[in-house]
Chain A
C-alpha cells in the first residue's frame, strides 16, 4: 500500500540537501523533500490523513493508520521562536484529513527573525527506496502530491 504525501504549504519544491540543517539534509530521520514557502501568513495543512502524533507550534507529525508517519517542519531552528507567530488548530491525538489545516504561520515573519522558512517534509524512518514519484522542483500549490511512500 502506498500513501500520497501532499504539500503542507505552497511554494518552490527543493531537494532535502538544500535544507540548512544536517538532520534533514542528511536524511537522518528519513527521506523526503523540502518546500520554500512563498507569500505571507498562510495555513500549513496535513500532508496525509491520520492521527496527530506529535505537535509543536513549529512542527508536527501525522501518522496514517497504515503506519506511515510524515514530519512537517516549518522553518529551521524555529523551535527558538517558542511558538510566537504560530497558531495551532488541532491537538495532539486528533484524527485529521489530508489537507486539513494544522497551523497558521507566516514564513516572511520567520525570515524577518533571521531563520530560514524552508519546510522539510519527511517520511519518518523509512528507507529512501520507499519514496516514489518524487517532485523534482518547480512551484507547488498546497495539497499537490510531493511523493508517495510505500509502507
Chain B
C-alpha cells in the first residue's frame, strides 16, 4: 500500500529521472525536479497529498507525518 503511494507520487513528479532530490520534512516532501512542467498536481492529490505547493522546479508535497517513510520508499524506487 505504502509502496503504491510512493510509486504514484514518484510518477506524478515526472518519474525517477525527473527527480533531482527529495528531502523529507516532518509533514512534507520537499522535491527538486529537472522539469517543473512534468509535475502533475492533480495526480499528487489523487495519491493522497493534502496539498501541493509548487515554485518553479521545487515542489512541496504535503503528505503528513509519514513523509519520512514515504521518502525512503520513493528513494528505493528510483
A residues contacting B by CB (< 8 A) are 22-23, 26, 28-29, 53-54, 56, 59-61, 69, 71, 73, 79, 124-125
Contact status A23-B28, CB under 8 Å: yes
Contact status A124-B62, CB under 8 Å: no
Q: Does B53 contact A (CB under 8 A)?
A: yes
B residues contacting A by CB (< 8 A) are 23, 25-28, 30, 50-51, 53, 60, 62, 64-65, 68
Contact status A61-B51, CB under 8 Å: no
Interchain nearest-CB distance for B63 vs A (Å)? 9
Contact status A29-B27, CB under 8 Å: yes
Contact status A54-B65, CB under 8 Å: yes
| Docked pose: A75 CA to B60 CA in angstroms | 18
Q: For A22, A28, A79, A125, which residue has the most chain B Cβ atoms within 10 angstroms?
A: A28
Number of A-B contacts (CB under 8 A): 43
| Docked pose: A56 CA to B68 CA in angstroms | 10
Q: Kindly identify which residue among B25, B30, B60, B65 contacts A53, using a CB–CB cutoff of 8 Å.
A: B65
| Docked pose: A60 CA to B64 CA in angstroms | 12
Residues of A within 8 A of B25 (CB): 56, 59, 79
Contact status A79-B65, CB under 8 Å: no
Contact status A28-B51, CB under 8 Å: yes
Residues of A within 8 A of B26 (CB): 54, 56, 59-61, 71, 73, 79
Contact status A29-B62, CB under 8 Å: yes
Q: Known contacts A54-B65, A71-B65: does B50 contact A29 (CB below 8 Å)? A: yes
Interchain nearest-CB distance for B23 vs A (Å)? 7
Nearest residue, chain A, Cβ from B53: A22
| Docked pose: A105 CA to B53 CA in angstroms | 28
Contact status B64-A125, CB under 8 Å: yes
Residues of A within 8 A of B53 (CB): 22-23
Interchain nearest-CB distance for A135 vs B (Å)? 22
Q: Kindly identify which residue among A26, A56, A125 contacts B51, using a CB–CB cutoff of 8 Å.
A: A26
Question: Which A-B residue pairs are the 9 nearest by beta carbons?
Answer: A59-B26, A28-B50, A28-B51, A79-B25, A29-B27, A28-B62, A29-B64, A61-B65, A23-B62
Interchain nearest-CB distance for B30 vs A (Å)? 8
Interchain nearest-CB distance for B69 vs A (Å)? 9
